[in-house]
Chains A and B, each alone.
Chain A
Amino acid sequence: MRGSATPGGLVKRGNVSKNLRYKIIIVAVVLIASLWALFPTFRVLTMSPEQRAALEVSEPEKYDRLIGKSIKPGLDLKGGMYLVLEVDDSQLGEDERVDVVDRALQVIRNRIDQFGVSEPDIKREGQKRIVVQLPGLQDADRAKRLIGQTAMLEWRLVRQQQEVVPVLTEIDEALARSLGDSILEVEPPADETAIAAPDSGGQEEAAPAQTDSTVPSPPSLETPQLGETPETPLGEVPMRAADKDKPFTSLLLSFYRDWLVVAEENVPRVRAMLARPEVQAAIPKDSEFFFFDEPLTLPEGGRAKYLFLVARDEMVSGSNLETAVAQSDPDSPNQLIVSFQFNRKGGRELARFTGQNVGRFTAIILDGRIRSYPVIRSKIPDGRGYIEGSFTDEEARDLSVILRAGALPADLVPREERSVGPSLGADSIRMGVRAAVLGLAVVVVFMIIYYGLSGVIASLALLFNLVILFGALAYLGAALTLPGIAGIILTIGMAIDANVLIFERIREELKKEKTIRSSIDAGYDRAFTTIFDANLTTLITAVVLWQFGTGPIKGFATTLSIGIIASMFTALVFSRVIFDLWTRRGTITKLSI
């Protein structure tokens, strides 16, 4: 608005000086590089989901390259899961501890790879931690199960009826001794929250009954009438006087083949009794009890569960497993099974185990739960076997994945878990974009009103700044998070600062009745150190934030740092070029600033 017209002395009229030409080239290179870096993002955004899927199938390498070089929404925008796991090596020996985290990492990678999450990020953090990030994941529970399962597979012998009976007697005696008459004076239950069975495994309790759901009623033990007893706190068992000396067996329905049938309503009580120390002491050291989790329907009505006494010593371990596949059961095609194949060493063990125990029942136990209880019909010479157990499609596939990927070398303890649903992420994007666009509009309008044509230059510089910022994000393959968007919005506000500093200086110089050209020169020169120092200190905090921050904070620090650097470039180089081009002929009598 102010300023006087004098022909520029330094610049030849009508010609572009060498210095300016270099600057134009630099600006053009940066602009082209940024746009080039943004091209994959543009491609991905303009593709329809179908086209994207088609490319992923037809040219996976090209697809990966494209995705890898485009701006990705972070977990909080796309939805997904963030999990921090700590490897519990307290149960391991010195030599096992050395590489336990790396082995666990490998196992988790294998499992996730086969799970089919796109762009998983699994990395080690610090001494004992593993950070798993699964963007776009819908079913967090399933993923947790898949990651956390130790996958200890064991094939063990089921104890026979004649071996079980004496154990039951022992348990009854032990309980009768310790509980005595007190079991008769038990109070009615206080609240049902006390029911926390020692081994719950409860997720599958609602699953439909197993194939052989009709149980013939073989000669029962002394079977009391069940069903009317009220729910009772665990471990305290009200009972009729007649059952006083058989507190345990009175809760059981019958034997079926080699194992016991327990009415479902009694299962919690049986579990509680089994957890009692005196009962544990009464059970031989070489055996232990397991429930089969899936309930079955009794012919006379009501539901029940099987209780197995399983050998601890006579078994084949799954550590020699070679491969596992989910497939449909050749005998009943609607059923899914998971078949597996042992390696040579495991195959020999299996051959010996099956050879010695033809006709006996076995239990296939995975992570402490019985998955199936096949009978050994004949010796298995080739190391092949299968697990059945009314799997859904998904379960069978997951189980085979877990078995194939191998067992985890140690327990993983979850320390932190965050998940964001896709709808919240979509909302965040929508709101973030809205805030950014409006913020940008307000700043642009303000700058143009306040600084006139120079404000237009500042606005162009701001847009250029954003192009560089997004280009850099794409080039780095950085994920855009909600705090990242906040960083961009903040950059919009702060990036204009460099231009404000320059414009204010130019105005001051113009007031001193200097020429337009020399005012611009002086304005830029004077503002340079200020811009440099002010931005560098901000950059220090941004870099520290990046160094110390986790996930979301890193995203914020990244966009802020890039934004600061880009704003210095656009203000000092880009807007300068425009000014120079604008005023180089020296015909402008009044600078709109």
Chain B
Amino acid sequence: MQFFHETHIHFVKHRKRAYIISLALIAAGLVSLLVKGGPNLSIDFEGGTLVQLRFDEHVPIGQVREAVIAAGYDGGQIQQFGSLNEYLITVERISEEGVAAERLLDALNAVHPQGNWTVVSSKEMLPDLSEGFEGGNLVIVEGDSIPPAAELRESVRGRGVGVVELTRESGRRVAFSLPFLGVEATAADKLKAGIERRFPDRTIEVRRTETVGPKIGEELKNRTWAAIVISLFGILVYISWRFEFRFAVGAIIALVHDVLITLGIFSLLGKEISIVVIAAFLTIVGYSLNDTIVVFDRIRENFGLRRRETFDRMIDISINESLSRTVITSLTTLFVVVCLYFLGGEVIHDFAFALLVGIVVGTYSSIYVASPILVEWQNRIAARNK
């Protein structure tokens, strides 16, 4: 059996059309990202709590929502997960500066009761790891007869309030920089208790809980960026070495193209970006690259064999020659990813979805983006030489 006998598709000629489609897709995604204020990051990155529950029989989502609100989490997201009886409840991290300020005030009042302490302001500071700043809560208090900074620090420390930094702002004002409190899984416990209270007759199984603190999330963001940048750099170096620099540029543009489109589709569909989805993105990078290299390899080979052909024609021939393989491989990979998407279970669903989109886009980009970039490059050199 054979799908493609000799094909003679003019890919290079139609590349402008492909650019328009690509740009439109990317633009749609970017607009969605802009409107929604960036990608919808999961608690892996943002911090927060997730609880997956299964009831012994169907319970309407409205009632679950009531229970979540009654437990004190108005902003909690509830979604049906897998079966009718199963729900996933996600609560974003609630900032804790109020609690931190309260604890500090208690400590101050206990140690220096004559101070008449009041909290002027409290705010959460997110970590900025590039500057080595770990983040925490900034609480400014006001009081009478403020003891020296060192004494103040030691005395609240004795009351269990660790102080990162302490600055005297004015005669009566002191700014305390306090570390983040622990996650303690209180949200998960409260949610569980709240649900159990609302449905006393149901048997409820807690299938999964996750709680992530803000610092961990921030670190993960940094590590993810590092992973993306380093792998792109590694690819750039490898392809420049094995092929030519312009091939590397073409490949990288195709990769960015694939990830941008997948990211855009995730944003348009309101899907969350979790750490597992990021892994899928990097796999897309690997896959799309695989595809691109196969075409590049043909181009490299044809450079040596068909010196008389024009550059455009050579690219076309190369893409056509590897078309059969590109499609077959994409098909087999797509088969398994479709199986994973429909049968792999809810937990792996978004991962499989990202791969599904990525494989389609990656196959397209290795044909319509990576190689035409070489044509553009060549044209520019030709124009300059004239």
Contact = CB atoms under 8 A, between A and B. Distances in A.
B279 A545 contact: yes
A97 to B, nearest CB: 13
A553 B293 CA distance: 25
Contacts of A536: 238
A497 B332 contact: yes
A439 B286 contact: no
Contacts of A275: 106
Interface string B331-359: 11111110110111101100110010000
B224 A423 contact: no
Interface in B282-316: 282-283, 285-287, 289-291, 293-294, 297-298, 301
B146 interface: no
B324 interface: yes
Interface string B70-111: 001000000000000000000000000000000000100110
B213 A415 contact: yes
Closest 4 CB pairs of A and B: A90-B162, A439-B336, A493-B333, A277-B109
A88 B286 contact: no
Interface string A482-497: 1101100110111011
Contacts of B149: none
B119 interface: no
A435 B329 contact: no
Interface string B46-64: 0000001010000000000
Nearest to B323: A504
A486 B337 CA distance: 9
A500 interface: yes
Given A417-B183, A447-B332, A501 B345 contact: no
Given A90-B163, A416-B216, A530-B293, A540 B332 contact: no
A540 B231 CA distance: 7
Nearest to B343: A435
Given A415-B213, A415-B215, A500-B332, A486 B340 contact: yes
A428 interface: yes
B213 A432 contact: no
Contact of A414 (B72, B185, B286): B185
Given A439-B339, A541-B283, A280 B113 contact: yes
Given A423-B205, A537-B235, A548-B224, A442 B282 contact: no
A193 B113 contact: no
Which of the listed residues A76, A280, A415, A556 has the most CB atoms from chain B within 10 Å of its own CB?
A415
Nearest to A451: B1
A532 to B, nearest CB: 9
B227 A446 contact: no
A548 B227 contact: yes
A49 B322 CA distance: 52
Nearest to A129: B216
Contact of A540 (B234, B294, B297): B234
A533 B297 contact: yes
B172 interface: no
A549 interface: yes
B335 A432 contact: no
B283 A493 contact: no
A545 B340 contact: no
Given A86-B182, A541-B283, 5 more contacts: A277-B110, A413-B182, A490-B333, A501-B325, A545-B231
14 contacts: A415-B215, A416-B211, A417-B185, A435-B340, A442-B336, A446-B331, A493-B332, A493-B334, A501-B325, A504-B324, A504-B328, A533-B293, A556-B279, A560-B283
Given A413-B182, A538-B290, A553-B276, A431 B345 contact: yes
A130 to B, nearest CB: 13
Contact-size category for A: 35 or more
B197 interface: no
A281 interface: yes
Interface in A36-88: 76, 84, 86, 88
A436 B348 CA distance: 13
Given A492-B336, A504-B325, A544 B234 contact: yes
A489 B338 CA distance: 10
Contacts of B334: 493
Interface residues of chain B: helix, strand, loop or mixed (majority): helix
Contacts of B118: none
A421 interface: yes
Given A431-B343, A504-B328, A507-B2, A489 B208 contact: no
B227 A423 contact: no
A193 B206 CA distance: 24
Interface of B: 1-2, 52, 54, 72, 106, 109-110, 113, 157, 160, 162-164, 179-185, 188, 205-213, 215-216, 220, 223-224, 226-227, 230-231, 234-235, 238-239, 242, 275-276, 278-279, 282-283, 285-287, 289-291, 293-294, 297-298, 301, 321-322, 324-325, 328-329, 331-337, 339-340, 342-345, 347-348, 351-352, 355
Nearest to A455: B1
A414 B162 contact: no
A322 to B, nearest CB: 29
A541 B235 contact: yes
A18 B205 CA distance: 63
A493 B2 contact: no
Contact of A535 (B182, B290, B291, B335): B290
Given A424-B208, A530-B297, A533-B293, A486 B332 contact: no
Nearest to B274: A552
Interface string A401-415: 000000000000111
B351 A493 contact: no
A461 to B, nearest CB: 13
Given A416-B212, A438-B339, A541-B289, A88 B332 contact: no
A121 interface: no
Interface in A265-294: 275, 277-278, 280-281
B183 A428 contact: no
Contact of A432 (B2, B227, B325, B348): B348
A442 B337 CA distance: 11
A106 interface: no
A518 B287 CA distance: 31
A427 interface: yes
A427 B345 contact: yes
Contact of A418 (B209, B331, B332): B209
A358 interface: no
A112 interface: no
Contacts of B162: 88, 90-91
B276 to A, nearest CB: 6
A66 B275 CA distance: 33
Contacts of A424: 52, 207-208, 347
Contacts of A164: none
